[in-house]
Amino acid sequence: MPGNNAVRDCEVLLLTVIVDRGSGSRVLRVAREAGISGGTILLGHGTYGRGGLEWFDDYESRKEIVLMIGYADILMAGIDRISRVMRLDRPNHGIAFTMPVASLTGSTSCHIGPGTREGESDMKRQAIFAIVDKGYAETVVEAAEKAGARGATVVNARGAGIHETARLFSMEIEPEKEIVLILAETVLCGAITDAVQAAIGLDEPGRGILFSLDVRQAYGLVGQQTD
């Protein structure tokens, strides 16, 4: 398998796994066994009783959302292993899905080469994610808004476990992190990511991770729907 430090002509994906609270660290352990270097765990809750469209049937269940980024070949093997070990084929055991990553900054172990990036996105909007130390989210939001973003959502996160330090793409992930989610028009994303990168100093190792995803459908936005 090619080394993670080399730029590879391979798609980069975001793998999202949603499981019961307390199972996120196990997902990361299984992922590491499959060659995925690390991830970030978010705390959330399930939904219930809304027309049969809920992801989970259990009432007010607490969930952990595990986010991992890596090359497609590694992540696809990893999601198969995670599905088997976590028994995702059974009802209420969790879900997992992948999305293509349009850009990635701040990673020393995973890179998006020019051949996998140029001309790939024709979507109207992108979702920009910035993972930074707690207390820096406001700096991210201010920089993004000055560059044209209309707003952002901040989510508190933790690493692989309360009593351990994990690594996300060679960056240490302590228990307290902040994730800033910005939904913006694609034409503005370059200016926004440049502004955030400069404000946080993402060129320096360990300062944070910044990546964006194509948005194929979006509801609740003022003015129009993206599809």
Residue 224 lies in a domain: no
- Where do we find the tokens 């952002």? 152
Residue 169 lies in a domain: yes
pLDDT at 218: 65
**How many folded domains does the chain comprise?**
1
Residue 227 lies in a domain: no
pLDDT at 172: 53
Residue 192's CATH number: 3.30.70.120
pLDDT tens track for 48-85? 433 433 434 444 467 888 889 888 889 989 999 999 99
> Which residue range forms the structural domain that includes residue 106?
12-215
* CA gap 51, 97 in Å, rounded: 23
Residue of 154, 148, 150 whose CA lies nearest to 132? 154
- CA distances (Å), 157 to each of 64, 98, 104, 203, in order? 10, 20, 19, 22
Residue 168 lies in a domain: yes
Residue 72 lies in a domain: yes
Q: Is the pTM of this model over 0.75?
A: no
pLDDT at 221: 58
Residue 170 lies in a domain: yes
pLDDT at 200: 93
Q: What is the CA radius of gyration of the chain?
A: 17
